[in-house]
A and B are shown apart, each in its own frame.
Chain A
Amino acid sequence: MSDVNGVGIGLRMEMAKELLEKKPAEVKWLEIHPENYMNRGGRFPTALKQAMEKWPIATHGLTMCYGRAEPFAEEYTTQLKQLLSDVQSPWHSDHLCFSDVDGVFAHDLLPLPFTEEAAKLYTRRIIEARDATGCENLAFENVSYYAESPDSESDEVTFCLEVLEAADCKMLLDVNNVYVNAKNLGFDPRKWIDQIPAERVVQIHVAGHLVRHDGFRIDTHGEDICDDVYDLLDYTLRRIGPKPVLLERDGNFIPVDELLEQVRRLSEIYDRATEGAR
């Protein structure tokens, strides 16, 4: 069984100093983005070393994105493999989308249409990444998406299930992304989550999102979690059991003590929802 359990937060440099000084017991594990530590000297790798003395680490990539048209660069996957080994991450996740083409990086998570061709591409890349990194528990995260392509041949959850089966991989279930998509596109988030096989899920993400003046929602990770997302997390945990929950906060940083209030609320939900299943 993995040491990554309960509620964790992301190791972000904007709050690393305070976090590493306080070492709050409420935080059970940390998530890192490998891109922030690979090919890098200075305070980032130093902070990671200090964090590893206290917490288990799980890795979550930002730029591998399984929808890449070309195979992954060997230099990148070799370095990633080393990092996963160094931090002993029990799984590695990245996103079901693309972020670069023809060598140009957008530094964002860009959706592909839900087509058979896309499913095959994702499947091929997930298998390729698993082979290259040696990570058996490779997972994809469902993303927030703001534009629907008329080329799509299925809905998102059907598409995710297809890739899960074809690639025989794991899933990082982002509850906030399901909620944001549900509100923007008009579907029932609980029905979406009902279809996800619990045994595939290795981790859950929750975060805050921005509600624009026109009501459209953007997954910013810079707001507090809304009550609906707390409720949806409770529902998800009751359905899929005790999976580690990560609070994402990547902008509009708040003092660690304020973040810990949200961690405590998440922990209460986690404990209540998974009681008897742990």
Chain B
Amino acid sequence: MIVDHQRRFMQVLLDAEPPAEALEKLGGLPERWLTYRHMVRRRMQGMIKSGLPRTVAALGDARYQATYDAWLDEAPPRTRYIREIVPAFADFAIPRWNADKDVPRWVIELGRLEAAKWEVGYVDVPWPEEPGEFTFEKVAVMNPTLRQLRFDHPVHKDLAEGETDYAPRPTAVMIYRKSEDDRLYTWVPNALSADLVDGWLAGAETVADVVKRVCAKHDTAITEKFIETLGGMLADFIEQGIVLGAK
């Protein structure tokens, strides 16, 4: 049966160790089937290293390779789009690294950051054709590619020369693509701005209601000076294509 041939072939490619029985049943020269194993594993490895370069480097060869081999063995790719194996690998690897006390927390955060940046680069989302003019009295229309991630370390920055670890610092990172140039952008908001963005992304309250709720949470009075600062931030967000309008 053809499908038996296909399953044996796939075992030789993806199992942690190529099964001797599968190789024997495929017949011919084992090293020729193993040539495919080498090619397949190298191709997917190349894609993952393109998507998660800093994470892979921070993990070190041995730990990364163990995770990669386990992923192929236990949760091999189920997508026809090779670009999607990067987030698929991250989804498999992050819980595994979380359970490994020898993996620094910031490395896991870095993996989440790189996987999100990779995905935002290609995610196919409809852009609102008429986002509406921005007003505080309506619900914000946000950039549909925008994602905001929260970390305990500023992993969006490269480690300073000579440093091997990040000092903890709560950090939010916004990742988005602009419609006009398709490039990937990041923005690091302060704690209050990050909460505002989360509120606007949720899309359940008006812009003003989110501001009131978040300011209360942060014990921040809505003064004239605050409104002036908020206005400046919103103008930047609108100019940068983070906020598109309101409806």
Contact = CB atoms under 8 A, between A and B. Distances in A.
Contact of A67 (B2, B13, B39, B177): B2
B77 A147 contact: no
Question: Which of B36, B43, B177: most chain A CB closer than 10 A?
Answer: B36
B40 interface: yes
A39 interface: yes
A98 B44 CA distance: 17
Contacts of B6: 67, 69, 98, 101, 110, 112
A115 B80 CA distance: 26
A39 B122 CA distance: 9
Given A38-B81, A104-B76, A110-B36, A151 B5 contact: yes
Contacts of B7: 101-102
B106 interface: no
B145 to A, nearest CB: 7
B5 A149 contact: yes
Contacts of A69: 2-3, 6
B95 interface: no
Interface string A237-254: 000000000000000000
Interface string A15-52: 00000000000000000000100111111101000000
Main secondary structure of the interface of B (DSSP, over half): helix
Contact of B33 (A42, A46, A147, A218): A147
A152 to B, nearest CB: 9
Interface string A205-218: 00000000000101
B66 interface: no
A49 to B, nearest CB: 11
A148 B27 CA distance: 8
Nearest to A117: B2
A108 B27 CA distance: 20
Contacts of B125: 41
Contact of B14 (A103, A106, A150): A106
Given A107-B40, A107-B44, A150-B28, A43 B2 contact: no
A146 B32 CA distance: 6
A225 B5 CA distance: 33
Given A41-B177, A147-B33, A151-B27, A112 B2 contact: yes
B182 A43 contact: yes
B164 interface: no
B3 A44 contact: no
Interface residues of B, number: 40
Interface string B30-73: 00110110011001100000000000000000000000000000
B123 interface: yes
A121 interface: yes
Interface residues of A, number: 38
Contacts of B28: 147-150
Interface string B80-108: 11110100000000000000000000000
Contacts of A107: 40, 43-44, 77, 82, 85
A136 B78 CA distance: 29
Nearest to A47: B182
B29 interface: yes
A76 B79 CA distance: 11
Contacts of B39: 108, 218
Question: Which of A63, A107, A112, A216: most chain B CB closer than 10 A?
Answer: A107
Contacts of A38: 81
A147 B43 contact: no
A111 B43 CA distance: 17
A35 to B, nearest CB: 6
Interface string B230-246: 00000000000000000
Interface of B: 1-3, 5-7, 9-10, 13-14, 26-29, 32-33, 35-36, 39-40, 43-44, 76-83, 85, 121-125, 145, 177, 182-183
Given A38-B81, A41-B125, A148-B29, 6 more contacts: A76-B80, A104-B10, A105-B79, A112-B2, A113-B5, A146-B32
Top 6 nearest A-B pairs (CB, nearest first) are A147-B32, A150-B27, A101-B6, A43-B182, A41-B124, A63-B80
